[in-house]
Amino acid sequence: MNIRDSDTPESLLAFFNESYAGDHFYVDENGDFNVHISGQKASTFHFILIPVEKVNVLDKQGNIKDMRYKFYALREGATVLLEPITILKKELHNVNWIRRWNQFAVLDSITPKSYVWILQFLNHIDKKIPTVNELDLIGWHKDEQGWFFLHSGGKIGKSRQTYRTTFTEFKFLKNNSLSEEQAFKETIEMLNICDQKVTYALLSYSLLSLIVTPLVESKDLSPNFAMWIYGKTGLGKTRLSSLFTSFYDTENIVRVDSYKKDLKSAYTKHKDSVIVVDDYGTSKTAENEYRTDEKVENIIRWLGDRQLSSVDDALPTGMALFTGERFLNNNEKNSSTIARTIRISMDNIFNRNEPGFDSAKMKRFEKFEKMNPLSTSIFFYLDWLSEKLNSQMIDQYKSDFQKLRLKFESKVHSRIIDSISHLFNTFNFYILYAAEKEFITPLESQIISDNALQIFMNILEDQSKPVVHPQVELFLELLIEAIRGGAVKIALPHDLSYSNGRLNPSNGTLGIYYPDTEELKLVWESSYGILYQESRKRNEILVGVKKLGKLLEEANLILKSSSGITTPLQTQDENFRHSTSRAITFDARKIVNVSELIIKLDEQSKQDTLRYIEEWEGIEDDTYDYQDIEESLSDANLIDTGLISNEDEWNHKKGK
């Protein structure tokens, strides 16, 4: 029989008689509480104490740290109901708590001497009192029956004991109009909202967050990393992150500039779930930016070290997802933090003024935002997980995880390989759940998994690429386009043998690429001017030349010398007069595809040169227009190559 605060004296009396009444303790026809010991009446009270709940308050390890009781009471012949009261066990040692509760205690025959019989009654029925184990956390817990999952609406799992959490706001956002199968299939459809690297990463991160506690307990499977979604304002970072990570009827987003205590409260309350740390990169002052970076570094470091820390530490008990306009600066100070982070570039869902906008993406998002299939599917999935966790799931997870680490082996940091392995592994378990439930066929399961594998391979590859400030990203895009289109021509050392290594910027040759060291020198002012004009055409204006140089330095793309960011570079003009320009030396290994592009263009240039020379040598000198051929060779950047290396010879032939 369940007791509610709305129950009547009659229902409470019926509960008492059903649960506690016997030969020694009973309520008579007058509504009085009687105590019989050794066949004789020991005491009578005009007051019926009705325990309805015993609460074991548990600590994080599941040990009882306190105990309290909830009581109702009837008086005046079991016709008057007192307001319920909750009392700690340690307060039961004397009668004072009843006197405070019932002002008519003396009239009801409750005295310090007679209170002994009430204590005997409580001791006699203690095991019959409905018992609840109460925790200050949600998520996974473990008792002698195994793992169970706690949320504000109750418990998921096979434990025979009753559990609840003190948190009332963690109720599942469950769409009751969706069946378990529909919820799963619609969740899979959510992966098509936008760029699948974003959606697969977010879904897998959320799925991984659901099993943080069991994985951390296993010691060597703790998922010690964060995820970072970055991109320009207005693309939809926060809303998409919320769609994929909000399981409960409570906010799981906290601003990165919040007070430390608020951040701490958020990431400790969201056990086995995701807390979104929002809006990185919007600090207005250098001081605020430094403080924000310190907080971010602390959270990611705590995530990275949690399996080594004391269980009493207030460490994250779920996963942390960061969103922001940019990622951490790629420097030596942040290298350890970056290795603990999977970075995902945000797709454009909402910003009509930015590249990549497609109204279809926005419509798909809005559909699923209203439907809410993921949290509904998670509710059902947790029941399946509880059975698996109480069998051999962790052993299977570990075996699959180790195989995936070998599959994902690459040159990136081992922490990143571990992180990607966790994401793909937990995604596969979700697909396994659907296959066992027969929501999908084995063939469909394999197809989905194979597709996901390729996506996570691409995400892994992205981790080796520099993540830079939006202005640096714009600069790199413009530079690649300018090199490919010929607006910025790049020479190789052998191309400049005729000029002793001097560039000729007047014909658009603004850089030298050194294949042996993978360095790229650019005549800075001239290159910047060309790229700036292109940025204006795109309506994405580059910042000033000095500010851009500083950002490139912060992105660790520049090989600095002792004299600063720029260094002297020997050049010459179209009349072969020598001069000096200022150049920046880039680490070409950190500019995606630039080395391959330059080598490809150089090979193409050699082929064009040979073709032009063959044409030139096959034409009679008296019939050839040397002005035309010079223009052709100049357009192809061939006069500045080693194949036509002697300007005196050329001028002699031209003037013949």
| In contact, 110 and 123? CB cutoff 8 Å | no
Instruction: Give the residue carrying structure tokens 């929501």.
Output: 439
Q: Is the pTM of this model over 0.85?
A: no
Q: What are the residues whose beta carbons fall under 8 Å from the beta carbon of 270, sequence distance 6 or more?
A: 138, 252, 317, 318
- In what helix (H) or strand (E) does residue 563 lie, and over which residues does it extend? none
Phi, psi for 7 (deg, rounded to 5): -65, 155
User: Domain locations in the chain?
Assistant: 9-133, 180-463, 470-601
The strand pairing partners of 163, in sequence order, are 133
**Whole-number pLDDT of residue 628:** 56
**Whole-number pLDDT of residue 385:** 97
- Quote the DSSP letter at residue 564: B
Q: pLDDT tens digits, residue range 206-244?
A: 999 999 999 999 888 999 999 999 998 899 999 999 999
Chain centroid to CA 102: 54
Q: How far apart are CA 155 and CA 153, in angstroms?
A: 7
**Whole-number pLDDT of residue 644:** 46
Q: How far apart are CA 452 and CA 203, in angstroms?
A: 11
Quick one: CA dihedral 240, 244, 250, 254, positive or negative? negative
**Whole-number pLDDT of residue 617:** 62
Q: How far apart are CA 208 and CA 199, in angstroms?
A: 14
Q: pLDDT tens digits, residue range 451-493?
A: 999 999 999 999 987 666 778 889 999 999 999 999 999 999 9
**Whole-number pLDDT of residue 338:** 84
| In contact, 350 and 362? CB cutoff 8 Å | yes
Mean pLDDT by 10 residues, the chain (656 residues): 74 95 94 91 94 94 93 95 95 95 94 95 95 95 94 92 94 96 98 98 98 91 94 94 96 86 83 93 75 83 66 68 85 78 95 90 96 96 96 95 93 91 98 98 97 97 79 91 93 83 86 94 93 90 90 86 82 83 91 90 82 65 52 49 46 50
Chain centroid to CA 637: 49
CA distances from 381 to 198, 299, 319, 450 (A): 22, 28, 18, 22
Q: How far apart are CA 477 and CA 598, in angstroms?
A: 15
3-state SS, 629-647, equals: HHHHHHHCCCCCCCCCCCH
> Radius of gyration (Cα) for the chain, nearest Å?
37
Calculated CA dihedral for residues 256, 261, 262, 264, nearest 10 degrees = 80
Query: Which string of b and e fits 422-436 if b means at least 16 CB within 10 Å?
Result: bbbbbbbbbbbbbbe
3-state SS, 447-481, equals: HHHHHHHHHHHHHHHHCCCCCCCHHHHHHHHHHHH
Query: Which string of b and e fits 285-294 if b means at least 16 CB within 10 Å?
Result: eeeebeebbe
